[in-house]
Amino acid sequence: MQNQARTRAPLEQDMNAAAEAIDSTKKSKKPQVMRQYDLIERVKRYNPNTNEALLNRAYVYAMKAHGEQKRASGDPYFSHPLEVAAILTDLKLDDATIAAALLHDTIEDTETTRAGIDRLFGSDIGELVEGLTKLKKLDLVTKEAKQAENLRKLLLAIAEDVRVLLVKLADRLHNMRTLHFMPAETKRRNAEETLEIYAPLAGRMGMQEMREELEDLAFRELYPEAFRVVTERLEALAIRNHDLTAAIEQQLTKKLADRGIAATVRGRQKRPYSIWRKMERKSVGFEQLSDLFAFRVVVKTVGDCYHALGIVHTTWPVVPGRFKDYISTPKQNDYRSIHTTVIGPGQQRVELQLRTREMDEIAEYGIAAHALYKDGGGSPSEMLNRESNAYAWLRRTIELLAEGSNPEEFLEHTKLELFHDQVFCFTPKGKLIGLPRGANAIDFAYAVHTDVGNTAVGAKINGKIAPLVSELANGDEVDVITSKAQMAPPAAWESLVVTGKARAAIRRATRAAVRNQYAGLGRRIVERLFQRAKKEYSDEKLQGALPRLARTSIEEVMAAVGRGEMKASDVARAMYPDYREERAALIKPAPESGWFRLRRNRAVKFKMPVEKGTAIPIRGNNSELPVRFAPNGGAVPGDRIVGILTPGEGITIYPIQSPQLKDFEDSPERWIDLRWDVDERTPQRFPAQIVVESVNEPGSLAQVAQVIAENDGNIDNIRMTRRSPDFTTVTIDLEVYDLKHLTAIIAQLRAKAVVANAARVNG
């Protein structure tokens, strides 16, 4: 006791000095700042063994560190961390978290350092304070990037210690309570961020009371007129129904007591934002809402919950479709309760929530209800790993950090997870899968396993074949049909799914597929070069040359060659230092059939040097390679084709007679020999372009279109130019099967009296 007295002596002096500084606020009409004794008493109500010396030390240290700093309201800055700490005492948190709340702005806004915090308060509190400080030390270009990176940093900090989240939410709540002192732009930005991120995050952590207050504060700022109208009507309704609410509480309590169930019944009015959101979602007026009041029935045991439910349902008529059992299937945020709606006294719709005292505490405090302040429970993160489904959801969300290629992508994924209510579906083996409302069978497949999603080709919902895009309902049994033939999911799925996990997996698989395409293309280019150079190629030899290419894997080298970022000759030189590149000759068709001439210093006749099997096969738009056709003229089977490799874009296919090829004369390393690989059993159309000189008379265009239609051609686009009073030039983008098909269409067009000439455009 003597030691304790000696310890307190200097503290008392500092506290008295602090109190004198704070008392100066009494001269104004602003609220007085809470004293340290009040804070200690708040903690001792739920934790009699609190470390008073630690909290006193943190209180005085933070107050002195912030000194004369003021908030926008004019209050001492220290009032903010003190109010944050007070909010956390309502959540019954441990001493370290309360101390971290008092200190959470010291490193950022004062001369305090992490080392100083560690020395005075220990590394546990130091890590908490530093985790909160890191969130604000960002300098990013866009508001979206800053918001996304803040969320990313927050969740990473939470992964280390969940108490960072609790302090951050309390910090945001107090800032929202004092938002009216901030500039207009800051108020709106903070309100939007609160509604988009912090309120849903509090809800996902099961902290419903905090979520509702955050939503209402943001609602008041963003939609002041709607907030005023809804609030006024709720106040009028509360006054009008006061006696009815009290009567329902008394009747229900007595009914349950008569059957031997001790219950606490509390009526509560729904909050303004939740009512407004329901009005918006269902497009109804305030008067059309019939469930503005809810009653919580708190009993001792789970058995009492179901017993009370039976009593309620046999006493009052049940509203169909309004029963939900979150005890047998809890929400991901650990929420457990039975919801039902009945037609109660006075023919009033009454929503009832039946739960035990433990469930009620979790519903109110959420993730903080797992008694973080108790000794012997391990670290908060370890303990929550065992006890909290909400924290398990958070860890899965953090896994998405590795999936997004940029902060905005991660923000998108996380918002998808935050905003949706849930549906519960089952696998054929009975495993329960929770998904956001609006999810489809593709989302379900990815929730089971990423490989299941990537190879999904169909689904059975409740035993019946259904499209993968079918929206799922509560209780559906979903059997995903997979096929090993599907190597990657269609890229279009990304716009069809609603879960962040599915969207991230599809995006990742699409990127991998494109990378594999480039790697395959690069391998073919490299192997073809080695065949022409009569050099031996092997992966083992290339593996040893990787350091000279500044690449870490063979696949990375091949992908770089396929994208045009690296030349195949660079790979050859890395493997064979004595390799000398022979510049490829640009080839042009000569009048002799099957012969070409070299355009360099002199003309020479030679056979096109394409060895059997070295030309790369092309299947057109459905090719496995990243290919596209020349923008003007296209190419069709029957044309002799070459490819031009463009970095980052893949191969552009040109017919050999295209005049556009002259633009690439000085880049022979970009030329690639190609050949058609068309399956006659599955005809496919290819792009071509023709120019028709037609006579200016009524019906001429119709006759041109009729010829194309009768020959099974497809018109993709038409452009008309008046060349003279008598003639019009019509440029038509066509889709045809091959060169023979195209030639037949042109011949029949020339036979028409309204057509002066028709010819193919060769790009």
Which of 14, 108, 364, 624 is labelled catalytic?
108
Of 709, 525, 702, 705, nearest to 615 by C-alpha is: 525
Strand 627-629 to 650-655 pairing = parallel
Could you tell me if 568 and 526 are in contact, meaning their C-beta atoms sit under 8 angstroms apart?
A: yes
Q: Using CA atoms, how far apart are residues 420 and 422, in angstroms rounded to an integer? A: 6
Of 256, 342, 258, 266, nearest to 306 by C-alpha is: 256
Q: Using CA atoms, how far apart are residues 459 and 428, in angstroms rounded to an integer? A: 12
Which of 14, 90, 109, 209 is labelled catalytic?
109
Q: Using CA atoms, how far apart are residues 186 and 175, in angstroms rounded to an integer? A: 11
Q: Using CA atoms, how far apart are residues 544 and 519, in angstroms rounded to an integer? A: 18
Q: Using CA atoms, how far apart are residues 64 and 71, in angstroms rounded to an integer? A: 15
171 has catalytic annotation: no
Of 583, 619, 588, 616, nearest to 603 by C-alpha is: 588
DSSP per residue over 263-292, as a string? -EEEEEEPPHHHHHHHHHHHT--GGG----
Name the strands in the sheet holding 755-760, side by side, starting at the edge strand that comes first in the sequence.
714-722, 727-736, 686-695, 755-760
108 has catalytic annotation: yes
| 320: alpha, beta or left? (left if phi > 0; alpha if psi -120 to 50) | beta
Q: Which residues of 581-616 are buried (b: 16+ CB within 10 A; e: fewer)?
A: eeeebbbeeeeeeeebbeeeeeeeeeeeeeeeeebb
Q: Using CA atoms, how far apart are residues 663 and 606, in angstroms rounded to an integer? A: 23
Could you tell me if 69 and 37 are in contact, meaning their C-beta atoms sit under 8 angstroms apart?
A: no
End-to-end CA distance of the chain: 96
Of 678, 679, 671, nearest to 528 by C-alpha is: 671
DSSP per residue over 385-433, as a string? HHH-HHHHHHHHHHHGGGT-SSHHHHHHHHHHHHH--EEEEE-TT--EE
Q: Using CA atoms, how far apart are residues 480 and 210, in angstroms rounded to an integer? A: 39
Q: Using CA atoms, how far apart are residues 451 and 514, in angstroms rounded to an integer? A: 18
The length of the chain, given as a count of residues: 763
How many CA atoms does the CB half-sphere of 229 hold within 13 Å? 9
Residue recorded with tokens 């929530």:
353
Q: Using CA atoms, how far apart are residues 458 and 441, in angstroms rounded to an integer? A: 8
Helix (H, G, I), strand (E, B) or coil at 681: coil
Q: Using CA atoms, how far apart are residues 348 and 252, in angstroms rounded to an integer? A: 14
Q: Using CA atoms, how far apart are residues 3 and 188, in angstroms rounded to an integer? A: 52
Question: In this structure, which long-range contacts are made by residues 500-503, counting pairs with CB atoms below 8 Å and at least 24 apart in sequence?
Answer: 500/397, 500/400, 500/412, 500/413, 500/414, 500/416, 500/417, 501/396, 501/400, 501/403, 501/413, 501/443, 501/446, 501/447, 502/442, 502/443, 502/445, 502/446, 502/447, 502/453, 503/412, 503/413, 503/416
Cβ atoms within 10 Å, residue 404: 21
CA 715 → CA 326, 355, 530, 678, 763, distances in Å? 58, 66, 43, 22, 18
Of 323, 303, 298, nearest to 313 by C-alpha is: 323
Could you tell me if 704 and 754 are in contact, meaning their C-beta atoms sit under 8 angstroms apart?
A: yes
- Annotated active-site positions, please? 108-109
